[in-house]
Amino acid sequence: MSLHALKPIIASTYQPHALHGADRSWAETNCYIDVWIEVLHAQGLNPLACLPMVFANDFDGDQWTFYKPPHEDLFALYGIDVQELNVWRGLLSNASIQLGRGRLVLTEADSFYLPDTEGTDYRANHVKTTIALQEIDLERQKLGYFHNSSYHELQGEDFVETFRVGKPHDPAFMPLFAEFVRLDHVQHKTDAELAVISLPLLRKYLARRPRNNPVSLFLPVFIRDVEQLKEEGMSAFHAYAFASLRQLGAGFSLGAHYLRWLQQHQPVQFEVAAIEFESISEVTKTLLLKTARAVMGKKAVDLAPLLEQISLHWQQGMDALDVSLASPVSE
């Protein structure tokens, strides 16, 4: 018997949201926001409305903010209620109960057993990631799940290992973090209705933005880090790039998309700011590629000018947002 929270989804015909389209500069951002984009999209809900949290992104010393849609925003916008799942019986048992009640389950998983990561982590690297369980077939040992930019299926040994089926009790194995998603109060609002709720959220996150330009603070740390990465090699670079450059560039790319959506439904002009944040995305993409070459070739490359450009775009983008939101037409 198959248990599913939403209507059955066929992985081979599933169409991801446009934010995960082939034309995007960053096909994937981070596992948590990517999952939510597709979970919302699969229900006919517009994920653009929940993105203003990216404007509070900061350089946190050894990473850029791993941004996530706050649970209170998901409830305010869509009526979605997210709660922690106590995995006291084991993930498979507890998740099956929740899916049987029409609830999605978000959980940490090991990419080693996720076939959609073929070519990167699948059967190669043990990497923690977040997936959303949508359908479980216990008899066929089959799982349908959202991960990264789309919807996927796994079965057989991957199912057994993901859920530790038949594994003896191991007191040293800690259960992975999981959440369940109540969908019984979901509200399908129009874009205009979502924009009315989302504009105050934008103001809220702008109030939480870094007091000082975070890219300027990142610059000297990044230059030192690159020299160390030349000694550590490309595997260290990939981990570093995900934690820093991808979160920086992809986050503000989402921000640009958000602002262009919002101005379609609110009497505020955000195009100047959107161009600045889009430029952060584009220059960061260039910086990522040049950094990879510098690490691989162990050559001296002056990367500071690119970060100075990004710093300027951040400041000009934030200034433009302040001007837009201070305009009487935005009140």
Instruction: With cut-offs at 50, 70 and 90, classify the pLDDT of residue 175.
Output: confident
Q: In Å, how far from its chain's centre is CA 276?
A: 21
Q: Once rounded to an integer, what is the mean pLDDT over residues 209-236?
A: 97
Instruction: With cut-offs at 50, 70 and 90, classify the pLDDT of residue 173.
Output: confident
For residue 201, which of 69, 315, 32, 82 has the smallest C-alpha distance?
A: 69
Instruction: With cut-offs at 50, 70 and 90, classify the pLDDT of residue 329.
Output: low
Q: How far apart are the first and last CA of the chain?
A: 53
Question: 86 and 112 in contact (C-beta within 8 Å)?
Answer: no
- Written as one letter, the residue type at 52 is P
Instruction: With cut-offs at 50, 70 and 90, classify the pLDDT of residue 299.
Output: confident
What is each CA distance from 251 to 26, 57, 260, in whole angstroms? 9, 8, 15
Q: Once rounded to an integer, what is the mean pLDDT over residues 24-42?
A: 95
- The C-alpha atoms of residue 187 and residue 193 are separated, in whole angstroms, by 11
142-147 and 150-155: which strand pairing?
antiparallel
Instruction: With cut-offs at 50, 70 and 90, classify the pLDDT of residue 186.
Output: very high
Q: Once rounded to an integer, what is the mean pLDDT over residues 64-85?
A: 98
Q: Give exposure, 266-292, as e/b (b: 16+ Cβ within 10 Å).
A: bebbbeebbbbbbbbbbbbbebbeebb
- The C-alpha atoms of residue 148 and residue 159 are separated, in whole angstroms, by 18
Q: What pLDDT is attached to residue 328?
A: 59
Whether the predicted pLDDT of 331 surpasses 70: no
